[in-house]
A = this chain, B = another copy of it.
Amino acid sequence: MAIPPITARDVGRMAGVHPSTVSRVLNRAFDHHRYAPDTVQRIHDAATKLGYQPSAVARAMRTGKSMTLGLVVSDIANPFFGELTSHIERHVLARGYRLMICNTWENPDLQADFLADLIARGVDGLLVTPAGAEGLDKARDAGLPVVTIDRQTSHAKLPHVGLDNIQAGRLLGQQLRHHGCQRIGIMMVIAGHDAMLSNRIKGLRDIFDDDDIVWIETMHPTGSHHEASQRVLARLSDMSQPRPDAVVGLTNHSTLGAYQAIRSLGLSIPDDIGLAGVDDFAAAALLSPPVSVVAQPLEQIAIAAADLLLQSLHDSDPSPQPELLPGTWVERSSL
């Protein structure tokens, strides 16, 4: 057990050179001409024979760069974030970076803890889907590039990449109208104090008057789609209000919950009531009927965010201009 790891010293000894030479030769693979070909050869041989892996810890200590990025995400169990994470990882990996992933479960204090810890661990930059503003300023003050994804924080104006929520809301509204909906009910999950959902609603309000929005039901972000379902159920069972022509879910959990509520009421979609949402999810295409949604350009968002961060690792200042990507309508048959 506990085999002592091979160090540059060991390689140097075997190749008959000084450790610093080992380091130079191994790191600048394309400067071979500057060293005696024989030396280079011996070093490479020794390194492979010994299975030398430079200690990333020591390297990070010395260079101040860990080649690691921190990803602070709301809930990795939510496929939305899982996919986002997956795209981000693939992208930064290709550029030589690794990811440290932390789950905040929408807890702002935990987020602050994670950020502080990631900084202490020497990450080179931070990607965050904020659960609040907590800890973000400190990260920026520490001189670390930070890019927010999916949600924008209210105060700190950090570089941001995400869905154009107003456009998404408007697109959803247009489609609702196009399918003849007059009155809608909205189910949403409120996450932190961000502008995401209010913007989606703002877009919707560009198309629907206040009077046409029968109700807006909210829920805490830690709840599941079961809870969302309860809320919608209560709304639809309340006979003192007119029934909306359609229910819209502003997040994937909300839409799923709304679907479940409508079905459990024995209502038929779209004949009795329509359903649509923002955020696509695997099950949407498989429900009966398949549910139409505004889909986020997840991969583009992931790539744009990663690129923005990677770029600001080298250049000094990233544009504080939010990069807002448009959603696309995925027509299925729920309206």
Beyond A76-B76, A85-B76, A141-B3, whether A122 also contacts B288 by CB under 8 A is no
Give the size category of A's interface with B.
35 or more
Question: Could you tell me the distance between the alpha carbons of A288 and B66 in the complex, rounded to whole angstroms?
Answer: 49
Task: Give the oligomeric copy count.
Answer: 2
CB 8 Å contact bits of A97-111 with B (1 = contact, 0 = none): 011111101000000
Closest to A226 in B: B285
Partner of A58, one of B61, B75, B81, B102: B61
CB 8 Å contact bits of A70-91 with B (1 = contact, 0 = none): 0000011111011101100110
CB distance from A289 to the nearest CB of B (A): 9
A89-B103 in contact (CB<8A): yes
Closest to A83 in B: B77
Beyond A56-B117, A101-B99, A120-B54, whether A82 also contacts B78 by CB under 8 A is yes
CB distance from A11 to the nearest CB of B (A): 14
B86-A76 in contact (CB<8A): yes
Which residues of A115-157 are within 8 A (CB) of B? 116-117, 119-122, 138, 141-143
B77-A85 in contact (CB<8A): yes
Closest to A52 in B: B120
Query: Is A256 located at the chain interface by the 8 A CB criterion?
Result: yes
A53-B122 in contact (CB<8A): no
Closest to A5 in B: B142
Residue of A82, A86, A120 with highest tally of chain B CB at under 10 A: A82
Partner of A61, one of B3, B61, B259, B282: B61
A143-B1 in contact (CB<8A): yes
Query: Is A17 located at the chain interface by the 8 A CB criterion?
Result: no
CB 8 Å contact bits of A1-44 with B (1 = contact, 0 = none): 11101000000000000000000000000000000000000000
B90-A82 in contact (CB<8A): no
CB-defined contacts of A85 to chain B, threshold 8 Å: 76-77
A103-B90 in contact (CB<8A): yes
A/B interface sample: 16 pairs, CB < 8 A: A53-B116, A53-B119, A56-B117, A57-B122, A58-B61, A68-B121, A76-B86, A76-B89, A79-B79, A89-B102, A89-B103, A98-B100, A99-B100, A99-B101, A256-B286, A283-B287
Give A contacts to B, CB under 8 Å: 1-3, 5, 51, 53-58, 60-61, 66, 68, 75-79, 81-83, 85-86, 89-90, 98-103, 105, 116-117, 119-122, 138, 141-143, 225, 256, 259-260, 263, 282-283, 286-288, 316
Interface contacts beyond A75-B86, A76-B86, A259-B286: sample of 10 additional A-B pairs, CB < 8 Å, sorted by A:
A3-B141, A68-B121, A76-B85, A76-B89, A77-B86, A78-B82, A89-B103, A98-B121, A101-B101, A256-B282
